[in-house]
Amino acid sequence: MKIRKNNLAIFTTPKITVYLIHDMPSGLTNKVILVTGASGGIGSAAALAFNQAGAKVAITSRRKEKLDQLARQMKDPLVVPADLSSPEQSVDTIRQVIEHFGRIDVLVNNAASIIVTTADTVTPADLLQAFSTNLIAPVVATQEAILHMRRQGGGHIINIGSPGFMMGIPFYAPYVCSKAAFSAWTRTIQAEWSGTGIRISEYFPGYVSTDSKPESRIGEVEQDFLMEKKQNFITKKFTHPKTPDDVARDLIHLILKPKLLMYSDLSVRIGTFIANFPKIRLSIASQMAKTARAKRNLMPHS
């Protein structure tokens, strides 16, 4: 029997199992792909993997030195430093891609502002920052990109969502609220542009271990600060991190075979299902709040 999983081919007989690692799937050759938030984590890994699979890749984010560092490992990339919380810069990024490559086939809306704060003290400025980067930036970039995609006869928008909003992740209100709105936007355009040749995909990563440093208003926090050291079987399963390279491979498959929604693994799919049961959802999320409070010495209402 032959099973294929990402870039791993597994052949099994009752007595023997053979694992063959084959190359990244080809098929991205000459596709023009813009990856936002490419200065670290998932965005960097995805941009590099797309480029290695033959795509012409444009990368954007604020930290130019990180983009340049990544660009040195890539073949003929376009580097566009930009602060995407500005709608003008977001639109201009697409224009620069068109000016340079003459087209855009795939837009990966990956950049995200991640602010850690308490619900009691979250400010309008925090919410505005999160909504500007996580919702308005991809909205205006998409509107600009589809003008060219329609002229080209098609294109693909990939929105990197965050299923955490369904659970209600404590201390991440600006992030989860903006990601909820982003998912709503994704689903709205899936409906409005259905059958128009513009494909819209949503990707739900789950927990991916990156060097992501949230902007914290409650002192320095680690990416896993909501998680307990001692975990039971279920939380261990749900919080076992994937790597940015795992996500990059998924995204290549998503480009080659577009889907409306792709989960990084079964545990994420199960997590989003469980989120429909209010008592279970609350029990998991309030445990996270308790863990975070203990780590940061936060009072229940601070």
Ligand X SMILES: NC(=O)c1ccc[n+]([C@@H]2O[C@H](COP(=O)([O-])OP(=O)(O)OC[C@H]3O[C@@H](n4cnc5c(N)ncnc54)[C@H](OP(=O)(O)O)[C@@H]3O)[C@@H](O)[C@H]2O)c1
State the minimum distance, in angstroms, from the CB of residue 188 to ligand X: 18
Ramachandran bin of 157, using left for φ above 0, alpha for ψ from -120 to 50, beta for the remaining angles? beta
How many binding residues for ligand X (CB under 6 A)? 27
- Considering only 176, 205, 251, 262, the residue that binds ligand X (CB under 6 A) is 205
State the minimum distance, in angstroms, from the CB of residue 101 to ligand X: 20
Residues in the chain: 302
Listed ranges 40-48, 147-155, 250-258, 272-280: which one lies at the site for ligand X (CB under 6 A): 40-48
What residues contact residue 267 under an 8 Å CB cut-off, 6+ apart?
A: 206, 237, 238, 240
CA gap 217, 6 in Å, rounded: 39
Residue 172 catalytic?
Answer: no
State the minimum distance, in angstroms, from the CB of residue 290 to ligand X: 21
Cβ(219)–Cβ(187) under 8 Å?
Answer: no
Listed ranges 19-27, 144-152, 207-215, 286-294: which one lies at the site for ligand X (CB under 6 A): 207-215
Listed ranges 47-55, 185-193, 200-208, 226-234: which one lies at the site for ligand X (CB under 6 A): 200-208
Indicate whether 130 belongs to the interface with ligand X (CB under 6 A). Answer: no
Alpha carbons within 13 angstroms on the beta-carbon side of residue 100 total 19
What residues contact residue 118 under an 8 Å CB cut-off, 6+ apart?
A: 171, 217, 218, 298, 302
Q: Residue 232: exposed, middle, or buried by beta-carbon count in 10 A (0-12, 13-18, 19+)?
A: exposed
Q: Which residues of 42-76 are buried (b: 16+ CB within 10 A; e: fewer)?
A: bbbbbbbbbbbbbbbbbbbbbeeebbeebbeebee
Indicate whether 212 belongs to the interface with ligand X (CB under 6 A). Answer: yes
Catalytic choice (172, 175, 203, 207): 175
Listed ranges 16-24, 33-41, 69-77, 190-198: which one lies at the site for ligand X (CB under 6 A): 33-41
Please, which of residues 74-93 interact with ligand X by CB under 6 A? 83-85
Cβ(289)–Cβ(227) under 8 Å?
Answer: no
State the minimum distance, in angstroms, from the CB of residue 25 to ligand X: 22
> Which residue, 41 or 155, has its beta carbon nearer to ligand X?
41
Kindly list the catalytic residues. Answer: 175
Site of interaction with ligand X (CB under 6 A):
37-43, 61-63, 66, 83-85, 110-114, 133, 160, 162, 205, 207-208, 210, 212
